[in-house]
Amino acid sequence: MSAQTPSCQLLNRDAFCHDDDFAGFWAISPPDDPWLWHAAAGGVSADEAVLERWRGAGQPVASPLGQAPAMPAAVLFWPKALKLAGWWLDWLNQSLPHGTPLAVVGEHGGGVRRAAHMLAERAMACDKRDSARRCSVFVSKTRRPAEPAADAAWERFTAGELTLASHPGVFGHGKVDEGTALLLETLAGTLGKTPLKVLDLGCGDGIISAWLARRGHQVTAVDVNHFAVEATRRTLAANGLEGRVLASDVYSGLEPDARFDLIVSNPPFHQERDIDYGPAGRLIREAPARLGRGGQLALVANAFLPYAATLGHAFGEFDVLADNRRFRVYRAWVQ
């Protein structure tokens, strides 16, 4: 099978998977490239959609928030967020034996050139092994830290009445997104006092779930990102609130018969540096089947995003509850 993504193409061209030092390597934060299912011995990802595809291919996978698997070598696919990249380096140093062969690969446009500096900050060796297809690969070895630096990445901050937990791998790390703020402001003026069964889809740091739970609603929160799932659990706990929190690729982690009175979302539209409307499209198209009679979908989106047509096809009718020119809050309902 041919490699599809530039980073994997670079590894394949370099015959990387045949290097004795990297025999049986595990892919860390891997891209969605089926070539890796054959080249790597396993994968570690915080993305539930990636984990589901690897499981479907019969490959061993793990979440970085669980027990780290034994691995003779690792290849880290450099994420675009530098703080997240640093977290992965710290996690690898903390989780693997000292001196485990480690490679870092990524696209120049995604900031992989910073890898040399960040490895040096951790007193790790760094040899540039190859560069092509606007990508580079660096080779190093893990170095056990004196203290578990990866755990220190979790932060807390205050947003109005709530204490929120955050992590570099979570959308809007350390601050409240403008679109989410508009959604909550709008919901405050439209939700009644009757407790509802609510699904927070794409829960992020848990601000929407906590806001709803504080007002007496029964909340189920899901996110494809394992860091977000853990952040929402921590946010609910920090505020003395209850809710069910699951890792889920849109609706995949829910029971087939799960139905809700309200679905709320600030859906993502980026996959790394690329625009991806796929998850938001699935969220809207499949929402009517997840709502009871009279149930509603409320979502906020950047004003330029083309969700109106999808809402119309899925629900027939919808309205715009708020529009500040940058963001719009849409509401659709089941007849």
Entry pTM: 0.94
278 pLDDT exceeds 80?
no
C-alpha pair distances (Å), 104 with each of 29, 78, 88, 134, 279: 11, 6, 11, 14, 28
Give the pLDDT mean for 179-196: 94
- Does the domain at residues 6-148 carry the CATH identifier 1.25.40.10? no
pLDDT, the chain, mean: 93
Give the pLDDT mean for 116-122: 96
Report residue 269's pLDDT band, with 50, 70 and 90 as the boundaries. low
Structure tokens at 221: 């929160």
The 10s digit of each residue's pLDDT in 16-41 is: 667 889 999 999 999 999 999 999 99
CA distance 129 to 138: 5
| Dihedral sign, Cα of residue 276, residue 280, residue 283, residue 285 | negative
Enumerate long-range contacts of 117-125, CB under 8 Å, 24 or more apart: 118/82, 118/85, 118/86, 118/89, 119/89, 122/89, 122/90, 122/93, 124/89, 124/93
Is there a shared CATH topology between the 6-148 domain and the 154-333 domain? yes
| Contact assessment for residue 320 and residue 314, using Cβ atoms and an 8 Å cutoff | no
Structure tokens at 300: 């906020």
Q: What is the CA radius of gyration of the chain?
A: 21
The 10s digit of each residue's pLDDT in 101-113 is: 999 999 999 999 9
Alpha helices in 136-277 (DSSP H): 178-190, 207-214, 226-238
C-alpha pair distances (Å), 129 with each of 10, 18, 27, 36, 157: 11, 14, 17, 19, 41
Q: What is the pLDDT of residue 145?
A: 87
Residues 6+ apart with CB under 8 A from 105: 7, 10, 11, 75, 76, 77, 78, 112, 135, 136, 137, 138
Q: Which of 11-15, 159-163, 294-298 has the lowest mean pLDDT?
A: 11-15
Domain residue ranges of the chain, discontinuous segments joined by +: 6-148, 154-333
Q: Which CATH architecture has domain 154-333?
A: 3-Layer(aba) Sandwich (3.40)
273 pLDDT exceeds 80?
no
207 pLDDT exceeds 50?
yes
274 pLDDT exceeds 80?
no
Q: Which of 4-18, 72-86, 169-183, 267-281 has the lowest mean pLDDT?
A: 267-281
Q: Is 137 helix (H, G, I), strand (E, B) or coil?
A: strand
Give the pLDDT mean for 153-162: 94
